Structure 1
Amino acid sequence: MENLLVTPEEAAEALRVGRAKVYDLMRTGALRSVKIGGSRRVPRTALEAYVAALLGEEVA
């Protein structure tokens, strides 16, 4: 089963950007994330929604 949540580092790798950029996107709300304990995680659906928004597409 593919992970439903990824670390910011894994999100950065998937988006081909730096880790700092992912934290910036999370801070501004452009990339949704959840806090579990003291750690931030990014839902895979949030990555897909972010890319779709960049492309100007609607996500179901």
Structure 2
Amino acid sequence: MSERAQDKFIEPLTVRIATAVRITGLSRSRIYELIQAGELDTVKVGHATLIQYQSLKSLTRN
């Protein structure tokens, strides 16, 4: 795969709640429940809550 093609497949480090809802098909409230249960790792940047993408992928692999 060329370097240019690889650039198109770079995974994000974090995603916003709305993006997590879209890509998982889970409800917003379920995402927050998973965060509260410690099943999703998050990072706060200012007022934004960002979910670590690897954490989200791990959740869907189980």
**Cα deviation, residue 3, structure 1:** 2.8
Would you say how many aligned residue pairs link Structure 1 and Structure 2?
53
Q: 1:11 aligns with which of 20, 29, 32?
A: 20
Question: What TM-score results when the alignment is normalised by the length of structure 2?
Answer: 0.72
Alpha-carbon RMSD: 1.3
Which position in structure 2 is the counterpart of 1:25?
34
SS in 2 for 1:51: helix
Question: What TM-score results when the alignment is normalised by the length of structure 1?
Answer: 0.74
Q: Distance in 2 between matches of 1:2 and 1:30?
A: 20
Which position in structure 2 is the counterpart of 1:58?
none
Q: Which runs of 4+ in 1 moved over 4 A?
A: none
Identity across the alignment (%): 25
- CA-to-partner distance for each residue in 1:3-50, whole Å, 9 max, x for gaps? 321101111111111111101110110111111111110111111111
In structure 1, runs of 5+ residues without a counterpart are: 55-60
In structure 2, runs of 5+ residues without a counterpart are: 1-9
Which is higher, the Rg of structure 1 or of structure 2?
2
